[in-house]
Amino acid sequence: MTAQRACGVDDVSVSSAVMVELDGIAVAIVKDSAGDIHAIGDTCTHGEISLSEGFVEGDTIECWAHGSQFELRTGTPKNLPAFEPVPVFPVTIDGDDVLVDVQNPLIND
């Protein structure tokens, strides 16, 4: 596993996802309503919109442009117009740090 620091645990909140670039890959660090932190591809598969600018609802994040909601655990869009998933990356919490391994996506590589 080649996890690297993405941000601090305190940097991300349900109302404020964080966009980071790791190895040239834009990643959205998102905290869901239950408090779990996820790392998904930041770019909406429907357009060049940053998902970290969207809205967290339960365990999904909604793209602000046209309303597709992506499941944070699977990267799958729950509704149109997006129909292709975003990648999901492994997250490790190490003390105050959020570590993400972008080289080994869990799904949707």
DSSP reduced 3-state for 44: coil
Comparison of 62 and 101: residue with beta carbon closer to ligand FES = 62
> In the Cβ-directed half-sphere of 53, how many Cα atoms lie within 13 Å?
9
User: With CB under 6 A as the contact rule, which of the stretches 5-13, 26-34, 44-52, 99-107 interacts with ligand FES?
Assistant: 44-52
Of positions 63, 86, 91, 99, contacts ligand FES by CB under 6 A: 63
When asked if residue 50 is in the footprint of ligand FES (CB under 6 A), the reply is: no
Contact (CB, 8 A) for 9 and 31:
no
* Contact assessment for residue 50 and residue 43, using Cβ atoms and an 8 Å cutoff: yes
Residues that bind ligand FES (CB under 6 A): 44, 46-47, 49, 63, 65-66, 68, 81-82
